[in-house]
Amino acid sequence: MFRANKKGWFISGITIATLISGIIFLFLTTIFLIIVGALGGSIDDQNIEHEDGGSGVICSPDGELNEEKWEQYFDDPRHSGMLMGYGDDIIELSEEKGLDPVLFGAITLHETGYGKSVALRTKNNPGGLMESDGKTLQTFNSIRDGLEAMSVTLYNRIIVDGLVTIEDLGNVYAPIGVDNDPDNLNEHWVPTMKKLTKDMGGLTINCESMKDVDMDVIGGRSWVSPHTKTITSSFGYRQGCGTCTTLHKGIDIASEGIKGTPITSFADGKVTVSDSSGTTHDSNLANMGTGYGWYVEIDHGDGIKTRYGHMLSKGIAEGRVVKAGDVIGTVGSTGASTGPHIHFEILIDDEQIDPMSHVIPFLADQ
Ligand SMILES: [Zn+2]
């Protein structure tokens, strides 16, 4: 009887041990699936087509946000979970910070497992931002607040640190071969982001346009548009509105297909203004407003400054030090503009002068 009892206990022991390990196994599997889900494993659920190979970096063909595709994500809870309806906030914050909304949106969706992450659900923290202790997730009052904090981080990485490509960002967001990534999930970050930004209609800025361009520097100076040397309007008085004439205080540079192409710095210097003046609408309607739209001013020292108007979106950040020929923004049509062009000014002691004599060396091979 005793032995049988003992045997009975023994069998029960095995059963209990099996049960416990079964429970532990299920528990661990669930946790693993949650982590994989949060890291974007759920992409396969999203029915997203396969990448077409190549470098994978896809830019929006017209440099614009593809609204239809954008809405497919942010107006549909299956694709954005708790981030549904926050598409406009992401666009607004992007415009404020000079970020590409497609890149911001894609990172947000990816980092939250399409709006389902625990950090988002319980702490309004879409970016998974940590407290200064590096261990605790920050808590925000609203998802909008969480998105705003995330936009600041992205601004610091992309605009201040200059990590403009998905690869650059991947090295920071999901470094490969680090201790806290034993299963090498981070190696999926870059390809997934490329696929996602493509499926969202393509990047709109900080894309091809922000790559380095090869500009001839002559005497420490550079032409300001790698796309064209065509000057469509010169410095001086011109008909503004029938009988009135206005002084055009710069030169206009444009040619077919210039929209979305880079604008480069005329000389070495420091960015003193990167802001908007007048409307920031990018429209082909005549004179949507007044002003430069998004523009950049660079101080080259010795009383010389340059200005670049009507950019597509916010250009390079204030305070950045640039070299002649560095990319500082993207051609658009914001402000008082009837079509995509660069309005380029040279100022001496804060007064605009005719830039022609200074740009002649670059026009010689026209
Ligand atoms: Zn102009």
**Distance in Å, CA 341 to ligand 1 centroid:** 8
By the 10 Å C-beta count (0-12 exposed, 13-18 middle, 19+ buried), 294 is classed as: buried
pTM of this structure = 0.51
Taking the C-alpha atoms of residue 349 and residue 119, their distance in angstroms, rounded to an integer, is: 52
**pLDDT < 50: residue spans in the chain:** 1-11, 13-14, 33-56, 209, 283-289
Domain made up of 212-363: CATH architecture = Distorted Sandwich (2.70)
What are the residue ranges of CATH 1.10.530.10 in the chain?
Answer: 39-208
- Which pLDDT score, from 0 to 100, does residue 42 have? 38
**Distance in Å, CA 238 to ligand 1 centroid:** 11
- Which pLDDT score, from 0 to 100, does residue 284 have? 44
Taking the C-alpha atoms of residue 332 and residue 119, their distance in angstroms, rounded to an integer, is: 37
- Which pLDDT score, from 0 to 100, does residue 43 have? 36
Residue ranges with CB less than 5 Å from ion ligand 1: 252, 343
Q: Which DSSP helix (H) or strand (E) runs through 239?
A: strand 236-241
What are the residue ranges of CATH 2.70.70.10 in the chain?
Answer: 212-363
**Distance in Å, CA 287 to ligand 1 centroid:** 12
**Distance in Å, CA 265 to ligand 1 centroid:** 17
- Which pLDDT score, from 0 to 100, does residue 351 have? 93
Q: What residues contact 313, with CB distance under 8 A and at least 6 apart?
A: 95, 98, 204, 205, 280, 294, 329, 330, 332, 334
- Which pLDDT score, from 0 to 100, does residue 177 have? 81
DSSP for 1-46, written as a single string: -HHHHHHHHHHHHHHHHHHHHHHHHHHHHHHHHHHHHHTTGGGGGG
- Which pLDDT score, from 0 to 100, does residue 49 have? 33
**Distance in Å, CA 125 to ligand 1 centroid:** 43
- Which pLDDT score, from 0 to 100, does residue 204 have? 84
- Which pLDDT score, from 0 to 100, does residue 291 have? 87
**Distance in Å, CA 285 to ligand 1 centroid:** 16
**Distance in Å, CA 253 to ligand 1 centroid:** 8
The CATH T-level fold of domain 39-208 is: Lysozyme (1.10.530)
Taking the C-alpha atoms of residue 320 and residue 311, their distance in angstroms, rounded to an integer, is: 17
Q: Which residue has the tokens 């670049």?
A: 308
Task: HSE, CB side, 13 Å, CA atoms: give it for residue 138.
Answer: 19
**Distance in Å, CA 363 to ligand 1 centroid:** 18
**Distance in Å, CA 291 to ligand 1 centroid:** 10
- Which pLDDT score, from 0 to 100, does residue 282 have? 54
